[in-house]
Amino acid sequence: MLNLKIVLLGSGSVGKSAITIQYVNGEFVDQYDPTIEDIYRKAIEMGNDHFMLEIMDTAGTETFLSMRDLYIRNGQGFILVYSITAKSTFYELEAMKDQVCRVKEAPVSKIPMIVLGNKCDLEPNRQVSSKDAESLCKKWGDVEFIETSAKTKLNISQAFEQLVKQIRTKQPAKPTKKSKCQLF
């Protein structure tokens, strides 16, 4: 069984934990409890292949941002999350994408990555159109984009599966430098 390290990045409260918990445990967490860091594991089967996903749910809040380089260094695939109900979280994606490229020392085209527009069940509160997100992802270099809802489960497993496919097909993004602190 192959271990794959997946890192979720995104601003505070966009739903990184809710997405992960919905995927791993099949339940929606309603309350908001800011994450410091959490690792989840899920065994999956795709075709004839078996994978153990190690999913790092990172902190969106400023206090813990310095840890991000370390998570990125160890990660092989990246899920960048914003909330369709908060424009600022969409604008903050670019800096995260740049940070991943800087730490991985690779262009985005070589890095397994997917952008998720989460909370799409909250359509009346939408602040970011799918068109804007599609254009941004295209501009970055055809990064995959999908809208999700951790609440209704829409596209949650699809998002992880798409990323796993990318990790398998793209040049695997190996840990770049030896880090003293093996986080996951």
Mark the segment that binds ligand GTP (CB under 6 A) among 58-66, 69-77, 159-167, 176-184. 58-66
| Region binding ligand GTP by CB under 6 A among candidate stretches 5-13, 43-51, 138-146, 167-175 | 5-13
Our finding on whether 175 is near ligand GTP (CB under 6 A) is no
Q: Under the criterion CB under 6 A, does residue 150 sit at the interface with ligand GTP?
A: yes
Q: Does 13 bind ligand GTP (CB under 6 A)?
A: yes
The CA dihedral of 2, 44, 93, 175, to the nearest 10 degrees, is: -10
Which one of the spans 11-19, 91-99, 159-167, 170-178 is the region binding ligand GTP (CB under 6 A)?
A: 11-19
Tell me the closest approach of the beta carbon of residue 168 to ligand GTP, in angstroms: 27
CA distances 59 to 28, 36, 131, 171, Å, are 19, 5, 27, 27
76-135 residues near ligand GTP, rule: CB under 6 A = 118-119, 121-122
Match 């596209």 to its residue by tokens. 155
Count helices and strands (H / E) in the chain: 6, 6
- Considering just the CA atoms, what is the radius of gyration of the chain in Å? 15
d(CA 180, CA 169): 29
Measured in whole angstroms, how far is the alpha carbon of residue 49 from the centre of its chain?
22
- CA atoms of 117 and 82, how far apart (whole Å): 5
Nearer of residues 76 and 149 to ligand GTP, judged by Cβ: 149
Is 9 a binding residue for ligand GTP by CB under 6 A? The answer is no
Give 7's strand partners. Answer: 56, 78
What residues line the site for ligand GTP (CB under 6 A)?
A: 10, 12-18, 29-32, 34-35, 59-61, 118-119, 121-122, 149-151
